[in-house]
């Protein structure tokens, strides 16, 4: 079949908007999170064994106790889901250590919430994240899976194809994958815009959800980028960083939900414990909007 470029673009658009397209339906998203514009709160683990900031004197039980306390505060504060992350394993690596995997799996297993969904994020090893999600019963993961970046960790070139095949191999296709296409601590190489990268991640790499971040953990994401991406993809688009009580209305007027971490912590500092009062303030604002 002979097609012009314009016709090919039209075919791509039809593919995304066809109601029979299995990628485009958001029914699973509504079923999983139950509430409109869900708030996914971060449960950040202190540094894991084998990493520079690990406190060997306190041991792994300290990690369990820390995260269990934070999850309790988040659930009681009314968040819609929790996502576990090894946020303090600084500096980050692209391949997890066995000791990290073992300890984090234990923490998730002992601290996971009972009545709301939870997810897993491992910085920055997608295969580890999906394996832990499958093992612990998580419903979703968050990772950077497409693109090439210069980053604090050096050249960052994830392998979406290899990840997708590993996901199939371990029978984890029921675990939804949230693609961060504007990652923190990194700049993309190449000339494609955020919108082009997001659209491609959905069409070519089968993203279940698109995430848009700021420059660092806790930094505000660009609302205009979220708006543009929403117009070009048919999967949920979430803001991934920088949500606070004063801006949550603006973000949720566009985004399908939000991942929130730093603003829920004591003094708004990413690596501090969760502050129940900060959770209450944010969720009160969210409930006013839903």
Task: Answer whether residue 201 is part of any domain.
Answer: yes
Average pLDDT, the chain: 92
Task: Answer whether residue 274 is part of any domain.
Answer: yes
The predicted pLDDT at position 8 comes to: 36
Task: Answer whether residue 267 is part of any domain.
Answer: yes
Range of the domain at 83: 36-289
The predicted pLDDT at position 188 comes to: 96
Name the percent of the chain lying above pLDDT 90. 90
The predicted pLDDT at position 195 comes to: 97
Task: Answer whether residue 277 is part of any domain.
Answer: yes
The pair of three-digit structure tokens given for residue 179, joined into one six-digit string: 């693609």
The predicted pLDDT at position 275 comes to: 98
Is the model's pLDDT at 224 over the cut of 70? yes
Q: Read off the pLDDT of residues 102-140 as tens digits, 9 standing for 90 and up.
A: 999 999 999 999 999 999 999 999 999 999 999 999 999
Contacts for 275 with CB less than 8 Å, ≥ 6 apart? 73, 264, 265, 266, 267
Sheet holding 149-151, edge to edge: 154-156, 149-151, 186-188
Number of domains within the chain: 1
Is the model's pLDDT at 17 over the cut of 90? no
Q: Read off the pLDDT of residues 77-101 as tens digits, 9 standing for 90 and up.
A: 999 999 999 999 999 999 999 999 9
Q: Read off the pLDDT of residues 133-172 as tens digits, 9 standing for 90 and up.
A: 999 999 999 999 999 999 999 999 999 999 999 999 999 9
Is the model's pLDDT at 191 over the cut of 90? yes
Q: Rounded distance, CA 207 to CA 179, Å? A: 6
Task: Answer whether residue 1 is part of any domain.
Answer: no
What angle is formed at CA 108 by the lines to CA 102 and CA 111, rounded to 5 degrees?
Answer: 135
Place 11 in a pLDDT band, splitting at 50, 70 and 90: very low
Is the model's pLDDT at 5 over the cut of 50? no
The predicted pLDDT at position 183 comes to: 93
Place 212 in a pLDDT band, splitting at 50, 70 and 90: very high
Task: Answer whether residue 16 is part of any domain.
Answer: no
Q: Do the beta carbons of residue 48 and residue 54 sit within 8 Å? A: yes
Task: Answer whether residue 28 is part of any domain.
Answer: no
Burial of 232 (0-12, 13-18, 19+ CB in 10 A): middle
Q: Do the beta carbons of residue 247 and residue 286 sit within 8 Å? A: no
CATH assignment of the domain containing 107: 3.20.20.390
Task: Answer whether residue 5 is part of any domain.
Answer: no
Name the percent of the chain lying above pLDDT 70. 91
Q: Read off the pLDDT of residues 242-268 as tens digits, 9 standing for 90 and up.
A: 999 999 999 999 999 999 999 999 999
The predicted pLDDT at position 286 comes to: 98
């Amino acid at each position: 079949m002979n097609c012009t470029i314009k016709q090919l673009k039209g075919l791509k658009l039809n593919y995304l908007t066809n109601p029979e397209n299995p990628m485009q339906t958001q029914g699973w998203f509504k079923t999983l999170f139950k509430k409109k514009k869900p708030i996914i709160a971060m449960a950040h683990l202190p540094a894991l064994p084998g990493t520079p900031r690990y406190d060997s004197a306190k041991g792994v039980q300290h990690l369990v106790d820390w995260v269990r306390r934070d999850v309790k505060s988040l659930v009681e504060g009314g968040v819609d889901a929790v996502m576990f992350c090894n946020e303090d394993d600084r500096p980050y690596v692209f391949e997890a250590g066995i000791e990290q995997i073992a300890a984090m799996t234990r923490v998730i297993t002992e601290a996971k919430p009972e009545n709301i969904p939870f997810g897993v994020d491992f910085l920055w090893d997608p295969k580890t994240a999906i394996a832990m999600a499958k093992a612990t019963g998580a419903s979703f993961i968050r990772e950077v899976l497409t693109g090439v970046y210069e980053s604090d960790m050096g050249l960052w070139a994830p392998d979406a194809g290899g990840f997708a095949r590993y996901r199939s191999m371990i029978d984890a296709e029921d675990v939804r994958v949230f693609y961060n296409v504007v990652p923190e601590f990194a700049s993309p190489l190449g000339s494609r815009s955020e919108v082009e990268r997001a659209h491609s991640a959905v069409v070519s790499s089968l993203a279940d959800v698109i995430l848009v971040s700021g420059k660092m953990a806790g930094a505000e994401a660009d609302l205009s980028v979220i708006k543009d991406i929403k117009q070009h993809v048919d999967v949920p688009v979430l803001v991934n960083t920088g949500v606070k009580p004063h801006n949550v209305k603006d973000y949720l007027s566009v985004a399908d939900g939000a991942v929130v971490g730093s603003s829920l912590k004591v003094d708004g500092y990413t690596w501090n414990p969760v502050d129940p009062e900060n959770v209450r303030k944010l969720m009160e604002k969210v409930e006013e909007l839903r």
